[in-house]
Amino acid sequence: MRNNKNIVFLVIIILLGYSCQSTPKNDPKEAPRIVNIINFIRQLEPRDPLITEDILYETVYQQILLLRKHSLPGTFLLQYDALINPRYQTLLRNEISPDSEIGAWWEITQPHVEAAGIQWRGRYPWDWHANVGFTTGYTPKEREKLVDVYMEKYKSIFGKYPSSVGSWFIDAHTLGYMYDKYKIEASCTCKDQIGTDGYTLWGGYWNQGYYPSKINAYMPAQTEEGQIPVPVFRMLGSDPIYQYDMGLETSWQGVASLEPVYPESGGNREWVEYFFKNMFKEPCLAFNYVQAGQENSFTWEKMKTGLEIQIPLLDSLKRQGIIRVETLGESGRWFRKNFPLTPATSVTVTTDVKDEGHQTVWYNSRFYRANLFWKKEAFRIRDIHLFDERMESNYYRNVTTSNQCTFTTLPFVDGFLWSTANEIAGLRLIKIEANGASVELPFNNPKIIETENGVLLIEGQTENNKTIRISLSEDEIQMTLNPQDGMLSWALELRTASKVVGQLPFKDISPQTISANMNGFNYKITCPIGSFIKPDTLSTFIFQIKPLNHSLTLNFRERP
């Protein structure tokens, strides 16, 4: 059966043609490029006394005027303290366009907590720490009270319950309760990051949107029975090339994203055009998703330049039929109509804003995510994380007492946490010399081919113009080398920084299976074609994956 899959893979390559470098589907009905402009609203900003309530209000007003100027819908998400402010109620009722949306921003504030009959423990009326400013700091019953209070207040003001709820992170108990009782239709959460603002979200469904597990809102589910049927979209528009490696050997990452306040990325026209080109015009599977907009805490003065670059460009792309600009709720309804389970998606980047020869492909499915990365002809698989709906989040039942939070999945390759500035982790394509030494093989001229069945095909040339092909499908990765050459011994090889070797999750390596454990949760990776090779005492690699007849397969579906 596995050999038949390889034959089908080769036939698809032949039928689609080897020369189709970056052939995107620009018809938004086939693989739509979806944009949500999400601006969320806080009543106050205690971190800076110069940012007054009037400045915060004026920021929202200017955002509304800019969207109206370009006839674009927006999603405005209200923190509870802003929800109960009559000024914001009047502004949003009277000034936003009819096709815009008002929803909930799920950071917890003092008036919200006190309205629910709970004691406030924050330093300020809004405190961004994870143990007071988010529902992770409250018991499941308290979380339900906070949801009920917000929903009833919202309905008393706007006459219905909100369909969209966003936050940097929402626990699964809260999200599931919002769906079960109030039938919310969409949510959004922070991009992947390490330590930024004290929040670590790492290894999740990269960008795009997914159905979360009923017991872990950060973990994509594999079954309808195990999922909360609310699509969660990833916010902030990470730089697909450069965000991942930012801050190696530090406890927190910088930001390279579409957020308009950052002058090197979202506030820079060259970067914005590079990002839009790759997100809207390069190959993808199912759809591509971009969140634009900014919270009012940054103030209009700081975001004005970036938004006045981005919004006209989005207007133009919409008029050309290249993108859809819609509300978060609309995107959630579309997602549920089209996908009973989390779909396979991809983000393809073939141009480098810094002109340093970088290219990358992000692939997501309900079983895993993977990141392939090139610097000119040097290639490595930078990241593979597995997903398992059975892994319960630390915050599903428990209350955090820390001012920080951590959401993770199941690592197989982690090019950030397992690296240092001088030892970069990754799964590399190698040639094994007669003396056993490893030499990296090139991977030249990668061509990316999107298919109709959730499979992304990548091919290029390696040593002596041999063709290397990678197939990324919903539950596995296949790699082949053609034509077969008995004289060439090749493999994939995982190396990490030497200082993390003792901290890796791998518990046992056998020829067909690697068993691993993350935070007490067991998982495994299998190799139905090819084999895992354990290092000997003199080796510096973690493991190798050797092909069988120049083909290997990694499977991520099987469970311990």
Q: What is the pLDDT of residues 84-111, one digit of tens each?
A: 999 999 999 999 999 999 999 999 999 9
Residue 11's beta-bridge partner residues?
A: none
Q: What pLDDT, on the 0 to 100 scale, is given for residue 280? A: 95
Confidence of residue 174 (pLDDT cuts 50, 70, 90): very high
Mean local confidence (pLDDT), 52-58: 96
The position carrying tokens 């079983």 is 367
Mean local confidence (pLDDT), 133-159: 97
Which pair of tokens denotes residue 238?
């990470």
- Specify the higher pLDDT residue, 465 or 555: 555
Is the pLDDT score of 3 beyond 80?
no
Confidence of residue 26 (pLDDT cuts 50, 70, 90): very low
- By C-alpha distance, which of 531, 541, 536 is closest to 504? 541
Mean local confidence (pLDDT), 188-199: 90
Query: Are 504 and 542 within 8 A, CB to CB?
Result: yes
How do beta strands 345-349 and 358-364 pair? antiparallel
Residue 15: phi and psi, rounded to 5, are -65, -35
Residues contacting 206, CB < 8 A, separation 6+:
192, 234, 238, 347, 362, 364, 369, 371
Could you read off the pLDDT of 220-271 as tens digits, one per residue? Answer: 999 999 999 999 999 999 999 999 999 888 878 889 999 999 999 999 999 9
Could you read off the pLDDT of 344-383 as tens digits, one per residue? Answer: 999 999 999 999 999 999 999 999 999 999 998 899 999 9
What is the share, in percent, of the chain residues with pLDDT greater than 70?
A: 94
Confidence of residue 466 (pLDDT cuts 50, 70, 90): confident
Is the pLDDT score of 217 beyond 80?
yes
Is the pLDDT score of 9 beyond 50?
no
Long-range residue pairs from 110-116, CB within 8 A, at least 24 positions apart, any chain = 110/81, 111/80, 111/81, 111/84, 112/79, 112/80, 112/81, 112/146, 112/149, 112/150, 113/146, 115/80, 115/149, 115/153, 116/142, 116/145, 116/146, 116/148, 116/149
Mean local confidence (pLDDT), 450-465: 87
- Specify the higher pLDDT residue, 147 or 537: 147
The whole-angstrom separation of Cα 227 and Cα 53 is 39
Query: Would you kindly state where each structural domain of the chain is located, as residue ranges?
Result: 2-24+345-555, 33-338
Is the pLDDT score of 496 beyond 80?
yes
Q: What pLDDT, on the 0 to 100 scale, is given for residue 486? A: 62
Is the pLDDT score of 140 beyond 80?
yes
Is the pLDDT score of 6 beyond 90?
no
Query: Are 408 and 387 within 8 A, CB to CB?
Result: no
Instruction: Write the burial class of residue 508 (CB in 10 Å: 0-12 exposed, 13-18 middle, 19+ buried).
Output: exposed
Confidence of residue 485 (pLDDT cuts 50, 70, 90): low
Is the pLDDT score of 276 beyond 60?
yes
Is the pLDDT score of 483 beyond 90?
no
Is the pLDDT score of 285 beyond 80?
yes
The position carrying tokens 């109709």 is 452
- Specify the higher pLDDT residue, 28 or 234: 234
Confidence of residue 4 (pLDDT cuts 50, 70, 90): very low
Could you read off the pLDDT of 293-311 as tens digits, one per residue? Answer: 999 999 999 999 999 999 9
How do beta strands 101-105 and 75-78 pair? parallel
Is the pLDDT score of 195 beyond 90?
no
- Of 35-44, 245-254, 347-356, 504-513, the one with minimum mean pLDDT is 245-254
Mean local confidence (pLDDT), 410-437: 92
Is the pLDDT score of 39 beyond 50?
yes
The position carrying tokens 């040639």 is 431
Instruction: Write the burial class of residue 312 (CB in 10 Å: 0-12 exposed, 13-18 middle, 19+ buried).
Output: middle
Query: Are 164 and 189 within 8 A, CB to CB?
Result: no
CATH hierarchy code of domain 33-338: 3.20.20.510
Element containing residue 533 per DSSP (H, E): strand 531-533
The whole-angstrom separation of Cα 21 and Cα 349 is 12
HSE-up (13 A, CA, CB side) for residue 522: 8
Angle, in degrees to the nearest 10, between helices 269-281 and 300-319: 40
Q: Please state, rounded to an integer, the average pLDDT across all residues of the chain.
A: 91
- Of 88-97, 195-204, 389-398, the one with minimum mean pLDDT is 195-204
